[in-house]
Structure 1
């Protein structure tokens, strides 16, 4: 039997203690090329898990391990530099890595073209719609070809049509990756989680520990009309029921 590849990231019995409560223990493994969604009630610890995976926070107990390689981050807001063009915003990680300016701008332009903004290189953030600004943030996260892409409810403030388009774009960019990045996506939207990810992890509302893990049926990216597939609806209801159970137990 061939050896299993080393995981991109892993949380093992990870606990973070805050003044008012503790989150965990969380056990979570992210394999290369995996797409994982994390759902949970507000305050369950979804963003904590993401920060642990990103190395932005260390556990007070247990381990948070990541393999060497770049990590891309997309937050709930695009967090773009308001004075800079879309091109310069996307090139920022390359500038910080001291990539030569011409090469960095060429790669940033290609990343913007990949998210459908090849004609908006010079646009400032205030000239972009919310969906466009989030595309710029996604291009910036991917321009450095990360091994791990972490997204913290990036589409929450967008309308449903724009959200669907961006999910399709994310699937396309994942397919085109060489190699494909592992993706961890935090969301409140159960339908979005099941559609986007190969599996969905439900965090316990009271503790933040993993309460359930549900595999999504079918292949990625999704075929047309997959949301009408009964297997998709069954998976959505399974995740929703697991989420509801954790919330009821916490009351």
Structure 2
């Protein structure tokens, strides 16, 4: 059956939170030494890794980690603790970095994101965005005039369920109005995003590379499934 709708993951698929040197100006470790490039890169990895826990958390914070994408306050609590354990000593510094993480304006679209969304919309293919996330990502699309290209957003903290639970894919498929077998899920994680296959959707994997290193990953993934 021809693809009638495409669901996209957000982080590492359509957009990516990129390292910006200005974020770390004045940021120091416990002994007052400015963070070097390696330490900055590691902080970014820990802030954006979607499913891998990179620090040891106590029971309270472990519970918050497990439910972070269902509750904005648990999300904040978890990441402030991760930043603290990662060598960001001051609450003010950690809060500043965390605000960057949840600011949709700080996220960078992949080079082919705009073109792909516009082409799908123009071709009459229904488009949805499905994300395990605890903040509103719609402004990232609106700021670039791409909100009109997305028919539905399903965000975990709004619907109370996360990928790979089949229910969250079912919610979006129903909202898009297309049969599951005529719907393609595009994402950067085989287990989380690939969960769409449980309800009969097709799945295409893209690599969550820096935006400068993945010029046409979305287009290539769609073409493999006969779209565009």
Same fold (TM over 0.5): no
Task: Tell me which protein shows more strand as a share of its residues.
Answer: 1
**TM (normalized to structure 1)?**
0.26
Bigger RCO of structures 1 and 2 (CA < 8 A, at least 6 apart): 2
Q: Which has the higher helix share?
A: 2
